[in-house]
Structure 1
């Protein structure tokens, strides 16, 4: 990044974004159901959730492309709920790139500046700086059809940054790319965001993508916010069973709750967080928390193994027919082939408990 670009980026103050009680209905479908969420200045926040959860609707409301039935959108305390999109200080990058096919890369980046009547020499200089910023300084004269998908998305990112927005909006910008390009570009986006210090909202349904780049991740479900937390907290201390199972891999083991404990795999463990009343429940556990060892008298059986590099994922069928996944170091997994009898246990620490789900 050039010194000039850095100086100009520093002129842009990161904004605080607030969603207050946003509700939006499309016919009988409730897209947002009272969304309350604050994005801190300079924060990279990912909106994560399954299709139809409302994450893109929330982003489009901040961009000005959608308006809520009720509620407010605020930027630095100013109500922008009804402000037209072209008057909002936000840059947006779409999944489909949306580049103009008849314009060169340089002219695509400079397009918004041209609409704002910026002088030709200034807008071309700024566009050239931004092409350099995204590593495409030598591609300025190329047209979109002459660029790869990853390069086109970099051009779209540069175009969004050209107007020096106070908020950057990314609507699943990597989903159309292949795995290697997606990995490289998400790391590049994160680097640029940190370098510029711009408040950023990133919509994705890919949990790995969200956890790897965001300062915080807001998990949404059916138009509501389930939990908003740093990636490590979201993974290690999910607030709800939905978050636990949506973020990362989670197994359900049958148990019975009594008081503040739950009986599972022959022992009693403390319950973590809210839980159903006493009775039949499911205990939710991560693969790395499950312990498996060979045991000739064990009632559980190995169903399958999968090599993951440093670890091996073992799928075990318990005596009651339920299955649990365990991630073991490769040397501990040696000899645990399909059909091997094993003993399964959990560490002595609190566990998340959910309502019992019917077994197939």
Structure 2
């Protein structure tokens, strides 16, 4: 297999950081079952060179199984895994040129940070001077140049994760795999490392797969997000497209906040909701009586004070410049609206309000039971 140049040169280089070429990764009709449980059910997905693609979905959707198949830790019942067009489905993990960062860090407690980073190089018989020099350069790259002599128990969770990242990059992998690497960290550290990982990935130009169940993490870091459900791919798109034009009701509700407002399909292209008719985004589902739910983002909901209004404000949540206002419609359906905080101050709990939607296509789904 060919080697790719990362931002870290070999010892004795000129110190210039060179952008990696980035590999193309393809999953073709991957299927994997564990007994009666189907983890992957015909997954087809392509990761572009130099792209950071997030695999997003609830627990048990198959995202970690897909990552482990690319790493070589799991093997499909059928289907192929290709890297730059080369079939690596049957290639052992240690020959795949992938670097993996785990949720649990998996650092060796008896080795200091420098030796942890250099461990893979030692296994590949790289000379002592060269591997220590490369490990030192990687520690600098992840912002820990003075932490080489410290042991894992002397490092914070965020520092341990940086060491794990440096260790994965030491072998100059064609593909970097991140398995929920930030989930064990507190919110502030998670945000900092999120930005740092993205910066390093862009600087190195390395193709990266990032597994997470955190939608904010996926949307803020990834070039594209692949949303999975039940071992299948629901949609793969840029964060903006995924949020604005979800392909399915599942994607719409899993990515961001959605309210379900009762509506009725008038014809194949129009739905009646909140006393008005709006065009349907896509094809309306065929349901008995035409009863559907209209899926609406909170920023699209319009509220106005109206003494005769049949909706009531039941709660407000301050989010800074925006306040999330929850109202109930007649019949008890909750609807969330994001309003400028100054405007929301005029609508305290108990206020009677009118609810309206903008005149644009809406996504509809079968009525929830």
1:33 to 2, 17, 41: 41
Matched, 1:219 2:227: yes
Q: Supply the distance in 1 between the matched residues of 2:302 and 2:99 (Cα, whole angstroms).
A: 48
Residue 338 (structure 1) shift: 1.0
Q: Which residue of 1 aligns with 2:336?
A: 325
Deviations 1:99-127 (A, max 9, x none): 00000100000000000000000000000
Supply the distance in 1 between the matched residues of 2:8 and 2:227 (Cα, whole angstroms).
36
* Match in the other structure for 2:155: 147
Pick the aligned partner of 1:87 from 91, 95, 100.
95
Distance (whole Å) between structure 2 residues aligned to residue 343 and residue 257 of structure 1: 22
* Secondary structure in structure 2 of the residue aligned to 1:137: coil
Tell me by how many angstroms 1:286 deviates: 0.2
2:129 maps to 121
Residue 7 of structure 1, CA deviation? 4.1
1:9: Cα distance to partner? 4.5
Aligned to 1:261: 270
Unpaired runs of at least 5, structure 2: 1-6
Shift of 1:169: 0.1
Residues 157-180 of structure 1: CA deviation (Å, up to 9, x unaligned): 000000110100000000000000
Cα separation, partners in 2 of 1:306 and 1:353, compared to 1, 3 Å? same
Offset at residue 2 of structure 1 (A) = 7.4
Task: Give the alignment of 1:173-192 within 5 angstroms.
Answer: 173-192=181-200
Residue in structure 2 matching 1:298, options 270, 290, 309? 309
Contact 2:224 2:238 in 1 (8 A): yes
Are the aligned partners of 1:275 and 1:354 in contact in 2 as well (CA < 8 Å)? Answer: yes
Equivalent runs, 1:101-116 vs 2, <5 Å: 101-116=109-124
SS in 2 for 1:19: strand
Secondary structure, counterpart of 1:138 in structure 2: coil
Q: Secondary structure at the match of 2:115?
A: helix
The TM-score, its normalising length taken from structure 1, stands at: 0.97
Residues 1-360 of structure 1 correspond to what in structure 2 (within 5 A)?
A: 7=16, 9-10=18-19, 12-259=20-267, 260-277=269-286, 279-358=290-369
Give 1:277 deviation, angstroms.
Answer: 1.8
Q: Measure, in 1, the Cα distance between the counterparts of 2:236 and 2:8.
A: 35
CA distance in 1, matches of 2:51, 2:346: 47
| 1:230 Cα deviation after fit | 0.2
| Number of residue pairs aligned between Structure 1 and Structure 2 | 357
4+ residue segments displaced more than 6 Å: none
| Counterpart Cα distance in 2 of 1:20 and 1:347 | 41
CA contact (8 A) 1:5 1:130 kept: no
CA contact (8 A) 1:19 1:74 kept: yes
1-structure distance, mates of 2:329, 2:233 = 34
- The root-mean-square deviation of aligned C-alpha atoms, in Å, is 1.2
Rounded Cα–Cα distance in structure 1 between residues aligned with 2:15 and 2:176: 17
Contact persistence 1:318–1:324 (CA under 8 A): yes
Rounded to whole Å, the distance in 2 between the matches of 1:252 and 1:101 is: 50
Secondary structure of the residue aligned to 1:272 is: coil
Note the C-alpha offset of 1:13: 2.5
- Aligned-residue offset at 1:136: 0.3
Bigger drift between 17-26 and 329-338 goes to 329-338
Measured after TM superposition, the shift of residue 273 of structure 1 is 1.4
CA displacement, residues 13-54 of structure 1 (integer Å, 9 cap, x when unaligned): 310000000000000000000000000000000000000000
Q: In 2, Cα distance between the equivalents of 1:355 and 1:39?
A: 32
Kept in 1, the 8 Å contact 2:8–2:138? The answer is no
Which consecutive residues of structure 1, in runs of 5 or more, have no partner in the other structure?
Answer: none
> Could you tell me how far apart the structure 2 residues matched to 1:5 and 1:343 are?
67
